[in-house]
Amino acid sequence: MTEATVREAIVRFGRSMFERGLTFGSSGNISARLDDGWLMTPTNVALDRLDPGRLSRLDAEGRLISGDAPTKESFLHIAMYRERAAARAVVHLHSTYSVAVSCLADVDAEDVLPPVTAYYVMRVGALPLIPYHPPGDLDLAEAVRKLAGRHHAVLLANHGPVVAGDSLEAAVSAIEELEETAKLFLLLRQEKTRWLTPEQVAEVRRRFPLR
Ligand SMILES: [Zn+2]
pLDDT at 174: 97
- pLDDT value, residue 136: 82
Q: What is the mean pLDDT of residues 1-25?
A: 96
Residue type, 201: V
Segment 9-33 shows an average pLDDT of 97
Instruction: Please give the pLDDT value at position 153.
Output: 98
Q: Collapsing DSSP states into helix, strand and coil, what is residue 180?
A: helix
- Looking at residue 42, the DSSP 8-state letter turns out to be B
pLDDT at 75: 94
Gap from CA of 196 to ligand 1 centroid (Å): 30
The predicted structure's pLDDT at residue 146: 96
pLDDT at 135: 86
Residues 107-158 pLDDT 10s:
999 999 999 999 999 999 999 999 999 988 889 999 999 999 999 999 999 9
Q: Is the pLDDT of residue 210 over 90?
A: no
The predicted structure's pLDDT at residue 211: 65
The reported pLDDT for the residue numbered 20 is 96
Convert the pLDDT of each residue in 190-206 to its tens digit.
999 999 999 999 999 99
Q: What does the pLDDT read at residue 3?
A: 95
Question: What does the pLDDT read at residue 71?
Answer: 96
Percentage of the chain lying above the pLDDT 70 cut: 100
Residues belonging to the active site: 73, 119
Cα 54 to Cα 42: distance, rounded to the nearest angstrom: 8
Averaged pLDDT of the chain: 96
What distance in Å separates the CA atoms of residue 30 and residue 18, rounded to the nearest whole number? 12
Question: Which pLDDT value is given to residue 1?
Answer: 82
Q: How far apart are the CA of 202 and the centre of ligand 1, in A? A: 32
By CB atoms closer than 10 A (0-12, 13-18, 19+), residue 16 is middle
CA of 76 to the centre of ligand 1 (A): 9
The CA 28 to ligand 1 mean position distance, Å, reads 6
pLDDT band for 209, please (50, 70, 90 cuts).
Answer: confident
Sorted by sequence, the CB contacts under 8 Å of residue 56 that are 6+ apart come out as 39, 40, 41, 42, 64, 66, 67, 68, 69, 70, 71, 74
pLDDT band per the 50, 70, 90 thresholds, residue 175: very high
Tell me, in angstroms, the distance from the centre of ligand 1 to residue 152's CA.
16
Q: 99 falls in which pLDDT band (50, 70, 90)?
A: very high
